[in-house]
Amino acid sequence: MNEITLAIGFGTQELLIILLIVFVLFGASRLPQLAKALGQSKRAFKDGLDEADEEARIEAARRRERLHAGEPTLREDELSSDKYTADKSR
């Protein structure tokens, strides 16, 4: 039964207890600061994910262009590059 409760999530009582503990630990004056910091962290994380997705899309487009142009793929470039062959000798 406990596994089912954990899978469903927190209920109202559990959330109220958690909020009460946070309120007691940090006080009313620090809660807005904590909320702001949490929001900024969430935004920065989301921006990082969006940036990584954009980089992946750009790299996929470059690979498609290379395939259509008959150029070697990125992996083949890495294997033939001096930079990567030096790293493999380690």
pLDDT tens track for 60-89: 999 988 888 876 555 555 555 555 555 455
Question: What pTM, to 2 d.p., does this model score?
Answer: 0.48
In Å, how far are 10, 45, 72, 89 from 4, measured between CA atoms? 11, 30, 52, 51
- Position 5 confidence tier, pLDDT thresholds 50, 70, 90: low
Token output for 38: 């949490």
**Token duo for residue 21:** 């503990």
Q: Is 17 helix (H, G, I), strand (E, B) or coil?
A: helix
pLDDT tens digits for range 21-56: 988 888 888 888 888 998 999 999 999 999 999 999
Residue with tokens 């997705």: 53
74 close to 63: Cβ distance less than 8 angstroms: yes
User: Exposure pattern of 10-29 as b/e (b: 16+ CB <10 Å)?
Assistant: eeeeeeeeeeeeeeeeeeee
Binned at pLDDT 50, 70 and 90, residue 1 comes out as very low
Q: 11: which 2 tokens?
A: 């209920």
Write down the pLDDT at residue 55: 95
